[in-house]
Amino acid sequence: MGVIRAEEAVRLGEQNDRAVLTVAGHSSDVHDCAELLAMLGLDAGRRQRTA
């Protein structure tokens, strides 16, 4: 069961990373990006990448 949860956490992290990149790409400036990310409950600097 732990493996499934770990895999789901990785998948969710990757999905959030894609969402952050999409928002950043469509934002007019850094303040717009930060506001949109906050509305979505996302934080571009929160996730620690592991190799």
- pLDDT higher than threshold 60 for residue 16: yes
Q: What is the mean pLDDT of the chain?
A: 89
Q: What confidence tens digit (pLDDT) does each residue in 27-50 have?
A: 999 999 999 999 999 988 766 555
pLDDT of residue 42: 93
pLDDT at position 11 over 70? yes
pLDDT score recorded for residue 2: 80
23 is written with which tokens?
A: 């928002």
Domain boundaries defined on the chain: 2-40
Amino acid symbol at 7: E
CA distance 20 to 26: 10
Alpha-carbon distance 51 to 27, whole Å? 29
Tokens matching residue 45? 């600097």
